[in-house]
Amino acid sequence: MRFNASQRAVAGRSGSRKSVSVRAQAAATSLAKADVPLKLEEGEMPLNTYSNKAPFIAKIKSVERIVGPKATGETCHIVIETQGTKINSKGKEVPHGVRLYSIASSRYGDSFDGNTTSLCVRRAVYNDPETGAEDPAKKGICSNYLCDAAPGTEIMMTGPAGKVLLLPTNAAAPLIMVATGTGIAPFRSFWRRIFYENVPNYKFTGLFWLFMGV
């Protein structure tokens, strides 16, 4: 199964206080690019391949906290094995409904072999509006399941869904990206394809602007 680059946008979140901008030019980068299995350049982009009643069963490979100790809330980088798991999904159905997460890696995944996909997930917590105290009984189901998952944990996936946040086919187009929080996820997939992966038929020559609200 191939999960393609960023097929979802994240709804805006409030509370952004300052922003930083990063300007990078592909021609100026000295990063050594990784070779990737170019077979994955072929074919159509997958769309809605898996559904609630016929989900894809994958396994968590790793979960890493990616915010500092003083951050408000917890956000995790989650790598999911999407190849080679071969778990029978017959008769399985997604419980608790689906939750949407933006894909934070390109089709080649973090290990450049096409065997994983990555997410950037913030734990959803509930704070009592009167006391301000956190109520664990009302914490978000899916985000906490993912952030607490041990390597090897099975998860059900549907999709991939959406075609709204894809790299332009014109590799010379300037990119101006604006994100806060986990909204960085789809843009991470962009910069990995542009700066980290050796794809002969895709040579980015535009400008890459990222504005990240923190």
163 lines the binding site for ligand FAD (CB under 6 A) = no
Q: Is 120 in the site for ligand FAD (CB under 6 A)?
A: yes
Q: Give the DSSP per-residue string, 144-162.
A: HHHHHPPTT-EEEE-B---
Q: Which of 50, 101, 108, 112 binds ligand FAD (CB under 6 A)?
A: 101
Percentage helix, strand, coil, to 5, in the chain? Answer: 15, 30, 55
Measured from the CB atom, the residue of 106 and 182 that comes closer to ligand FAD is 182
**Closest alpha carbon to 166 in 69, 23, 44, 62:** 44
How many whole angstroms separate alpha carbon 61 and alpha carbon 81?
6
- Tell me if 87 contacts ligand FAD by CB under 6 A: no
- Count, residues near ligand FAD per rule CB under 6 A: 23
- Determine if 10 is a binding residue for ligand FAD (CB under 6 A): yes
- Paired with 56 in beta bridges are 157
Q: Which is nearer to ligand FAD, 107 or 122 (CB)?
A: 122
Going by C-alpha positions, the residue among 159, 186, 206, 151 that lies closest to residue 47 is: 159
Nearest CA-CA partner of 121 in 98, 85, 95, 148: 148
Residues 121-160 that bind ligand FAD (CB under 6 A): 121-122, 124-126, 138-144
Which residue has the closest beta carbon to ligand FAD?
Answer: 140
The answer to whether 102 contacts ligand FAD (rule: CB under 6 A) is yes
Task: Determine, following the binding rule CB under 6 A, whether residue 161 of this chain makes contact with ligand FAD.
Answer: no
Interacting residues toward ligand FAD by CB under 6 A: 8-11, 99-102, 120-122, 124-126, 138-144, 182, 185
